[in-house]
Structure 1
Amino acid sequence: MDMEKQRAIASMGGRAAHQQGVAHEFSSEEARAAGRKGGEAVSQNREHMAAIGKKGGEAAHGRRRQRQESQQQS
């Protein structure tokens, strides 16, 4: 089954569950706990975290450089 068809079927199931009132809706407390759990799991992979940090640093440096160049041209 292609991904688009699978998504459409899953979407219909989700809508039906909400209409029937049996779908689970996260409270802000549950969502916060889930986010914390996910963050802890991801942060255990040091290589992954290093790659994220490097990418962010490069992006910030690039924006800073663009700002400086545009100010010098003005």
Structure 2
Amino acid sequence: MAMTEKMTRAEAGRLGGKKTSKSHGKEFYQQIGKKGGKSTAQSHQEAFYQEIGRKGGKSTSLSHNKDFYKKIGQKGGQATSKTHDKSFYQNIGAKGGSAGR
């Protein structure tokens, strides 16, 4: 009698994920992502989000260089310029200029 190897939990999860991705589209994943986000928001405080943001930022800084931050800053600036007018920049400029150092 041949012994069969048991599948690990990780392998089972990977196979299940592949099967699910074949039968569900982008909208399915967006919907479950929103549902999970709402559930997480109800069960965690601000400190939780601060901590995961800190961890993510540290991880990103270890795996990316100065050019990465330059590029994402430029992309963010371009996106902001498309949705905000001159008065927005005047307002944030005034706030920055009056900030104490």
Q: Given the two structures, how large is their TM-score scaled by the length of structure 1?
A: 0.45
The structure whose RCO (Cα within 8 Å, separation 6+) is larger is 1
